[in-house]
Amino acid sequence: MIAGKIKIYALAALWLALPLLASGAQARSMQASNSYVKFSLPDAFQPQSRFAGFFSKDAGATIMVLDLPREAYSQFTNRFERELTNKGYSEVRREKLNGRHDDHLFFFARQHTPVGQFDKYLLIFRNNERAAYVTITVNPIEQVETPLSYIGAKNILAKVSLSSKRARTDKSYYLTYKGAFKERSTIAGSTTIFALKRPPESLSKKSSKPLFVIAPSLSRNKLTGLKDTGRQLMAKFSRFRDIKLMAEEDLMVDGMQGYGLSGTAINKSNGQPVGIYQLVLANPKGGYFRIVGVAPRKLFAHYLLEYRRMAASFHLTTPISE
């Protein structure tokens, strides 16, 4: 169970990267939402509700964090640099981070995307109880008031620490039906993973396990083309290949327009066939909610009914009318 959870965290860590700054402004202590990770940051940075981290419009910059079990730290020590390279990052290098005296790994990397080049500062560290992964991403081409410098990013990461208590923040959504599933973990403060309370005895330890995930989009842009967005997201699953659509449907959930898709694919990690259910809901406040259920293909017909029922029980914490 622990190994499976660590693997999910490690996969998620590779994708925690967005467009920080070194500022002369007086720093204040802030803790990321639904996280143990604490920072000393200028007032320009504000905690975010859609993910565990901070954003500064003036800097055009984002900090994201991922809380990890202490055992997960060892998963990064030998292969993280190679994984970053495999994901298309360039100029990947491990560097020394002065000021830290704990177990830690610090990397610099550069990422080229259709919207520009991003410099990334990546820190994985642990104490005696837990570990964490922190990403700072900077667009050096972005015209902002106070861009983050190389030294500034390192100074911020040198002071990051772990609190003994998690900063609790209510999610913007909830389910009224979970069936045989229970909430197992929260990633990046807002993405929730649900796992079976008791996995089927017919599944081996190496088999793909049924999982149900709710992930709000990071962008608050108004969603256009719900159908196209759903299809694009379905086609871009990084963990699966040979994705084939079986069914599509328009839905309404808690007053929100949605588009549901189901299909089959191959799990890249173990080569096993799986079934995938995805529902994309247009968030009335901007962006979308992505709901995904995955199960071994031989069990998918059964779990597809559960996933649809769970998705239909999705509700916003604050009703649309308010």
Tell me the per-residue pLDDT of 246-269, one tens digit each, with 9 for 90 and over. 999 999 999 999 999 999 999 988
With a pLDDT cut of 70, the percent of the chain lying above it is 84
The CA-based angle 93-45-283, given to 5 degrees, is 95
Contact by Cβ (8 Å): 24, 151: no
Q: Where in the chain is the domain with CATH 3.40.1000.10?
A: 2-166, 173-316
pLDDT in tens, 167-182: 876 677 889 999 999 9
Rounded distance, CA 64 to CA 62, Å? 7
- Identify the architecture of domain 2-166 in CATH: 3-Layer(aba) Sandwich (3.40)
pLDDT at 57 exceeding the cut of 90? no
Give the whole-angstrom CA distance, residue 157 versus residue 134.
8
CATH class of 173-316: alpha beta
Q: Are 65 and 48 in contact (CB under 8 A)?
A: no
Give me 177's structure tokens: 């039906």
The SS3 of residue 229 is helix
Q: Specify the pLDDT at position 115.
A: 65
Q: How many CB atoms lie within 10 A of CB 258?
A: 22
Tokens linked to 265: 């694919």
Q: What is the pTM of this model?
A: 0.61
Q: Give 19's pLDDT tier (boundaries 50, 70, 90).
A: very low
The pLDDT of 94-120, averaged and rounded, is 87
